[in-house]
Amino acid sequence: MEVYLDNAATTKVSKPVYEAMKPYFKSSFGNPSSLHNKGIPMRKTINTSKKKIASLLHCAPTELYFTSCGTEATNWALKGLALSPSIKGEIITTRIEHHATTHTVEFLEKLGYIIHYVDVDNDGFIDLFQLEELINNNTLVVSIIYANNEIGTVQNIEKISEICRAHSTYLHVDAVQAITHIPLNLTELQVDLMSISGHKFHAPKGIGLLYIKEGTHIENLIHGGQQENERRAGTENVPYIVGITKAFEEGMKVVEDYNDRLNQFANEILDALKNEEIDFLLNGPKIGENRLPGNLNISFEEIDGSDIIFYLNKAGIYVSSGSACNSEMIEPSHVLKEINVPKDYINGSIRVSIGQFTTHIEITYFIKTLINIIKKLK
């Protein structure tokens, strides 16, 4: 049996998405910029896709721009603001962001921007009082990850937005893990920019979105042609645009059931570990509305997480490590460090991310296998 529990890293393309995309590889292959019968329908397809996604996100179609991925969307949001004609020179973020954000602000710091980092508590929630203290008339943008990719923390974006609006400061939200996994309404959130990546919710890799609220002034990141309303050059990837649109539609149909079912699976895993009296820590918030459904980051005392992953892999079960690898060594995740996971637990961390198509049989097999591995390694 193969059990895929690494859905926070990427998801498989669903059958409805695959079927929707197929014609656009073969018969409907025209360039959307071409003014003939092969190109014009492709332009209409892109416009229709934006209208469909906009209706689900509760925004205007003209506020949506297709990108290659969430990383490009985040780079465009932050660099686009930084390169715009603004006299503001400070940026606020956290130390538990995805590297798409942390590395971008580090780059902007080299250009002269002052970067402030808001503290988070041991569950990963940002200190809203400190944000109030840090934000000022010179703050260009606050950039916050909506649902943390490692520990599942879901931030109070509505409150963060209130603080930013009170200080006339842009708010960028990395919603890569949040889309179709938790209810989301842009009219209610009141954010200025939002990054989205299709391969996190059963669209293919290589397609993303940047939401740019009307009136938000950012520079272009990619120059060339006049695509995407002259905001992002490059021939549009029509098959993948169709794919991400279908994935949006399919995902939003089941979001409530998805939340309940995945949280039930997550609790089942934790209860089984407790019943076997296995010593572990759940990193991040408790299971519920403040945690991304299906996300479990678990640390085991005095065990190497890579050993757990090795034996799970041998059993056909695929999860992620709680560590970040480089060419010289394996280091604990920057997120786990920031939330103060104890030293005797931090190297024994794994991330389990349950998905829309995970079955109860798979969860049962995973639980039994994991417990046996932990007992063996102890």
Cβ-in-10-Å burial (0-12, 13-18, 19+) of 371 comes to middle
Query: Do residues 208 and 72 touch, judged by C-beta distance below 8 A?
Result: yes
Q: Taking a C-beta distance cutoff of 8 angstroms, is the pair 208, 248 a contact?
A: no
Any idea how long the chain is?
A: 378
DSSP string over 224-254: SS-HHHHTS-S---HHHHHHHHHHHHHHHHS
Active site residue 325: yes
User: Is residue 139 a contact partner of residue 91, using CB atoms and an 8 Å limit?
Assistant: yes
**SS3 state at 6:** strand
Could you tell me which of 105, 149, 86 has the C-alpha nearest to residue 284? Answer: 149
For 260-315, the DSSP string reads HHHHHHHHHHHHHHHHTT--EEE-SSPSSTTB-TTEEEEEETT--HHHHHHHHHHT
CA distances from 144 to 134, 153, 218, 249, 308 (A): 14, 11, 18, 25, 31
Q: Which of 171, 107, 108, 164 is nearest to 137 (CA)?
A: 164
Angle between helices 255-275 and 360-377 (to 10 degrees): 30
Which amino acid is residue 195, in one-letter code? S
Q: Tell me the catalytic residues.
A: 325
